[in-house]
Structure 1
Amino acid sequence: MRAIGEKQDQARLAVSRHACKLFWERGVAGTSGDDIAAAAGLSTRTIWRYFRAKESCVEPVLAKSADRFIDILNRWPPELSLAEHLAADGISHPLAPQDVQDEISAMRIATMTASEPALRTAYLMVHDRMEQGFIPVIADRLGLPATDLTVRLCAAAVTGAFRVVDEDVSTAVIVDGKKVTEEQALALIDRAIRDATNGRLGGPVEPQ
């Protein structure tokens, strides 16, 4: 059953890549479920079995980007600051070419969400999932139960901070054509998380 689930996840991701490309090239209104199905080499019926609406087809690509950042935080050693960890993790876990393309696709969709409410809904749903993924990481970092109000508030703040940076960097790169290095993007994430949590997160964990 697990193999079947993984196969379906990969199939949904493949469809999502086609949908993101079509939405970017043609716009949401100019792209139909039939168009996405044709690009993916599937029947339209299969598309609707995988997704509730054409706009929700972007979710697997967006989720891949969100899950990657959750994984990065899960690898955060207690003795390192966030900035130190982000720099080191970028070297030890480099992006593959397909990962880079997926990140670009996610950034493009992020720039479209301001004018496309249905895409915005999909985008925010993925960030809600990201918030839930942050909770155990933050609880462990702060030495508090996952149900603690401070943990939940920090998870919400970190998610909001990440979303703002994601939107700002995406707009700068995709819309304005500016060059934002990985170091600059990581520095923005570090600063945003520190500011959003009033310094609770960002530094190394102090030994007890």
Structure 2
Amino acid sequence: MSRHACALFWERGVSATSGDDIAAAAGLSTRTIWRYFRTKESCVEPVLALSARRFLDLARRWPPELSLADHMAANYAENHLSPEDIADEISALRITTLSLTEPALRTAHLMVHDEMEHAFAPIIAHRLGLADNDLTARLFAAAVTAAFRVIDEDVGYRAIVEKEKITQQQALAMIDRAIRDATNGQLGGPVPH
């Protein structure tokens, strides 16, 4: 259902897509849509959350001797995304781009980033040897998640709207810089022994 909502919003626009349209595309009743989603725009959250979960799973395996960008590059070299994963990433970037001008999609986008922030704080705490609820870990999670959101918006707009070719290396360099800038250099690189 979420994939159908993403496709319809991109093809028709948010205002021209109804809950009935999403239900029909998914082969479900409209009543089922409203049982699981608070608005038609919130139907995109599961696709957006896939990317966030993929990142969090990767972050949980982040070895202390690597920067996050190096870990991400190694992971992508070893674990290629499936065609469905790539399609979901493109859909997520499209929704991110639309969210810049569609307030209700913006809400869905921010809800996913809020969930990501809460899940990322204990990962950061563990990496830095802090308690899970440590204020520094929580602040870093908030700053890094906001930095990722800005990177997603920038890359999404440039790649989807402006049709600019952005390489994986360029995207990883932006992520690396964003993390270091957001945490005054205290996170992103290898953990000193």
TM bucket, shorter chain = over 0.9
Q: For each residue in 1:48-106, what CA deviation from the matched residue of structure 2 results, as whole angstroms up to 9, or x when unmatched?
A: 11211100000000001111111111110111122221111111222110000000000
SS class of match (1:31): coil
- Within 5 Å, which residues of 2 pair with 1:41-52? 41-52=27-38
TM-score, normalised relative to structure 2? 0.98
Deviations 1:132-168 (A, max 9, x none): 1111110011111112111111000100110010000
Which residue number corresponds to residue 83 of structure 2?
A: 97
Please say if 1:198 is aligned against 2:192: no
Question: How large is the RMSD of aligned CA atoms in angstroms?
Answer: 0.8
Q: What amino acid is the match of 2:101?
A: S
Identity %: 70
SS of alignment partner, residue 79 of structure 1: coil
Tell me the TM-score normalised to structure 1 length: 0.91
Partner of residue 167, structure 2: 181
1:159 alignment counterpart: 145
Q: Which runs of 4+ in 1 moved over 2 A?
A: none
- Deviations for 1:28-61, whole angstroms, at most 9, x for unmatched residues? 1100111001100111111111211100000000
Q: Which of 9, 12, 15 pairs up with 1:29? A: 15
Select the residue among 146, 169, 177 that pairs with 2:132.
146
Q: Note the residue ranges of structure 1 that are not aligned, 5 or more in a row.
A: 1-14
Equivalent position of 2:122 in the other structure:
136
Aligned to 2:60, which of 74, 80, 98? 74
CA separation in 1, counterparts of 2:180 and 2:142?
A: 13
What is the aligned length? Answer: 193
